[in-house]
Chains A and B, each alone.
Chain A
Amino acid sequence: MTREEVYERLNGVFERVFDIDGIRVSDATTAADVKGWDSMEHINLIFAVENEFGLKFNIGEVNKFKNVGEMVDMILERT
């Protein structure tokens, strides 16, 4: 899977979880940039990302991502 393909699917996940049509995230996107991305919705975001890409994050990884780019790195590493 290319980075672009990951982003295409990831944007769909963000649309669903945060109910923001047409949202586009990028490497630099952080929780502060997305309305509603608080610690509770982070749990649901992780859950949705796991479902979308068919992977499971480890306990140490879930809260480590500093931005979306690091999450995408991890997804690419795992798939």
Chain B
Amino acid sequence: MKELEYPFNGREIIENKKRLRRRLLEREGVTYTDKKIAVLGGYTTGDIVQVLELFLLDAGIRPVFYESAYNQYYQEAMFPNPALEVFSPDLIYICTSNRNIDTYPSLDDPADDIDALLTAQTEKFTAMWDHLAEVYHCPVIQNNFEKPYWRLMGNRDATDPHGRVSFINRLNAGFAAYAASHENFYLLDLDYLSGDYGLREWSDPFYWHMYKYAVAVPAIPVLSYQTARIIRSIYGKNKKGLVLDLDNTLWGGVIGDDGPENIVLGPEEPEGQIYSEFQSYLAQLKKLGILLNIDSKNDEANALAGLKHPDSGLSEEDFICIRANWEPKDRNFREIADELNLLPESLVFVDDNPAERHIVREQIPGVSAPDFDRPCDMIGVIDRSGFFEVTTLSEDDRRRNDMYRENAGRQRLRASFTDYREYLVSLQMRAEITPFEPLYMARIAQLTNKSNQFNLTTRRYTQSEIEEIAADDRYITLCGRLADRFGDNGVVSLAIGRIEGDVCHIELWLMSCRVLKRNMEYAMMDELVHRLGERGVGRILGYYLPTAKNGMVRDFFADMGYTLIASEDSGNTTWELDIRGGYTDKNDVIRTEEA
């Protein structure tokens, strides 16, 4: 919803909160991920929670909230809390501010006392986070502290250990160190956020004294949005790539009219510097695994000539799909999504032309096309939109662009074969299929939250849930990696089965769309059946739970030789495979390796 996209108008969100909520819930055809979120607050959090709900609904996450009593975050987290235990949160958000710092250094304190004070204050929080992890096994989001509203010693406050600025900076360093060394713990950088907004307005003391709000009312949406960004990312709702225009977006000028030598790019003039800085930003996004693509109204030769400009920070090889032609941009956009096997709404459209942005937004529901007036605002708008909020950074993320490029190589190879099986054989595929292993837990949790299309039950798991299942012998888990002559695809397929007597219920079965039609699902099924056979399981029950996005696997179990045994009005189907009478392997093109 446009009203909830950055740069949103916080004042209007606050004033129209109820109306926005109603409109969000009235939307049709939205498949929600349901999440239970506990907000443990150090100040009044009611509005923060209600606005957070708007941003989450907009992202396809339907939250149910538990809110602590006013300023009871610490007590509710640390002491036995039956209500919270019954609620059983999927995620805990500790919402505090520098008003929650118990004791600040006093000017009379010797330096040693200040160090002890710092340790005590830091440990109060770290002990609480440790405790939450132990009791609730779920992700925890915690903000660091905004700078103080006033500085007793002026600038010296930042350097003198007695200063509040110094004290908060040191506390924040301690919080960051904890976040860097603990999985499933996510720091919300309130220090940056409040500075970005303007500390003087953020911490307007009127709201504290009047309502016990540690953040000014108009800034509440800014805080809620930041929280929503982290939650979106944890549950796999990040965007995956950019679809970029060329003329006046990656460089200044129109290359078809001006000629490649006359486009504005590089250090010579201010305008050229802007585009160079943007290209450099994109190159860094690419290193995070963000897929870069081009959608430009240009002859392809001109487009490529622009990327060969001596000052271009990006080259042809940095992009996965380049669509430079005279087709409508929304059509190219859809084709790019298809070619990447991604849903269109997982790509963001960047174009300097408001008319093109409008067309793409109108024609492809759910696509973000951020607005900006000046080219120098592109980085700021994309960055603050939080499309690519990084909560985990796996090796797969870093390698993602390479993998998609390798796929382009496979496509070319495929075109040289008329027989599909021969093509598959020529890929020289090797699969490694093992139970969930510690090294891959982050990637496994990430996959369960990201995969929508080739996903039979669309169950989402946190990393701690995955770890528990992996360690529980009532379950069988499979994690499949696939490599071939072009490269390693990494972890691409997962299965979780719950074993009850001699029956196995397939609770999760998913595969990354990057390895569609490679027979990896056959290799996985073969492996599952073999392992279940060894454990004395005779029957496998498979479940298909339809969503708006997983239509491609409606007949998955039928293809795997299962028999339909139940079918509900909701579209849910149950399938059975009896392996007591033997089983014939289905995969004959992938070599399966023991780990």
A-side residues, CB < 8 A to B, are 13, 16-19, 36, 40, 43-44, 47-48, 51, 59, 62
B18, B19, B22, B218: the one contacting A47 at CB < 8 Å is B218
> What residues on A are CB-neighbors of B206 within 8 Å?
59
> What residues on A are CB-neighbors of B16 within 8 Å?
16, 19
Find out whether the CB atom of B18 lies under 8 angstroms from the CB atom of A17.
yes
Chain B 203-237 interface 0/1 with A at a Cβ cutoff of 8 Å (1 = within): 00010011101000110000000000000000000
> What residues on B are CB-neighbors of A44 within 8 Å?
14-15, 17, 47, 217
CB distance from A43 to the nearest CB of B (A): 5
Bound complex: CA of A40 vs CA of B44, how far in Å? Answer: 9
Find out whether the CB atom of A43 lies under 8 angstroms from the CB atom of B47.
yes
A-B contact pairs, 15 of them (CB 8 A): A16-B15, A16-B19, A17-B15, A17-B17, A19-B16, A19-B18, A19-B22, A40-B44, A43-B213, A44-B14, A44-B47, A47-B11, A47-B14, A51-B15, A59-B210
Question: Can you name 8 extra interface pairs (CB under 8 A) apart from A13-B15, A17-B17, A19-B19?
Answer: A16-B15, A16-B16, A19-B18, A40-B46, A43-B47, A44-B17, A51-B15, A59-B206
Chain B 1-31 interface 0/1 with A at a Cβ cutoff of 8 Å (1 = within): 0000000000100111111001000000000
Bound complex: CA of A72 vs CA of B206, how far in Å? Answer: 22
> What residues on A are CB-neighbors of B44 within 8 Å?
40
Bound complex: CA of A44 vs CA of B11, how far in Å? Answer: 10
Bound complex: CA of A49 vs CA of B217, how far in Å? Answer: 13
CB distance from A34 to the nearest CB of B (A): 12
The residue in chain B whose Cβ has the minimal distance to the Cβ of A20 is: B18
> What residues on A are CB-neighbors of B19 within 8 Å?
16, 19
Chain B 186-216 interface 0/1 with A at a Cβ cutoff of 8 Å (1 = within): 0000000000000000000010011101000
Bound complex: CA of A38 vs CA of B222, how far in Å? Answer: 23
B: number of interface residues (CB 8 Å): 18
The residue in chain B whose Cβ has the minimal distance to the Cβ of A51 is: B11
Q: Which 4 A-B pairs have the closest CB atoms?
A: A19-B18, A19-B19, A48-B15, A40-B46
Bound complex: CA of A48 vs CA of B218, how far in Å? Answer: 10
Find out whether the CB atom of A62 lies under 8 angstroms from the CB atom of B18.
no
Bound complex: CA of A62 vs CA of B210, how far in Å? Answer: 8
Q: A13, A43, A62: which has the most chain B beta carbons within 10 Å?
A: A43
Question: Is chain B's interface secondary structure helix, strand, loop, or mixed overall?
Answer: helix
Given contacts A17-B18, A19-B18, A19-B22, contact A43 B11 (CB under 8 A): no
Bound complex: CA of A62 vs CA of B16, how far in Å? Answer: 20
Find out whether the CB atom of B210 lies under 8 angstroms from the CB atom of A47.
no
The residue in chain A whose Cβ has the minimal distance to the Cβ of B205 is: A59
Bound complex: CA of A19 vs CA of B17, how far in Å? Answer: 8
> What residues on B are CB-neighbors of A13 within 8 Å?
15
> What residues on A are CB-neighbors of B14 within 8 Å?
44, 47-48
Complex interface residues of chain B between 562 and 591 (CB less than 8 A to chain A): none
> What residues on A are CB-neighbors of B218 within 8 Å?
47
> What residues on B are CB-neighbors of A17 within 8 Å?
15, 17-18
Q: A36, A40, A47: which has the most chain B beta carbons within 10 Å?
A: A47
The residue in chain A whose Cβ has the minimal distance to the Cβ of B211 is: A43
> What residues on A are CB-neighbors of B209 within 8 Å?
59
The residue in chain A whose Cβ has the minimal distance to the Cβ of B46 is: A40
Bound complex: CA of A48 vs CA of B14, how far in Å? Answer: 8
Find out whether the CB atom of B47 lies under 8 angstroms from the CB atom of A36.
no
CB distance from B392 to the nearest CB of A (A): 35
> What residues on B are CB-neighbors of A48 within 8 Å?
14-15
CB distance from B559 to the nearest CB of A (A): 49
Bound complex: CA of A36 vs CA of B19, how far in Å? Answer: 12
CB distance from A74 to the nearest CB of B (A): 16
> What residues on A are CB-neighbors of B47 within 8 Å?
40, 43-44
The residue in chain A whose Cβ has the minimal distance to the Cβ of B11 is: A51
The residue in chain A whose Cβ has the minimal distance to the Cβ of B44 is: A40
CB distance from B219 to the nearest CB of A (A): 11
Bound complex: CA of A59 vs CA of B213, how far in Å? Answer: 14
The residue in chain A whose Cβ has the minimal distance to the Cβ of B22 is: A19
Find out whether the CB atom of B15 lies under 8 angstroms from the CB atom of A47.
yes
Bound complex: CA of A6 vs CA of B218, how far in Å? Answer: 23
CB distance from B39 to the nearest CB of A (A): 14
The residue in chain A whose Cβ has the minimal distance to the Cβ of B20 is: A19
The residue in chain A whose Cβ has the minimal distance to the Cβ of B18 is: A19
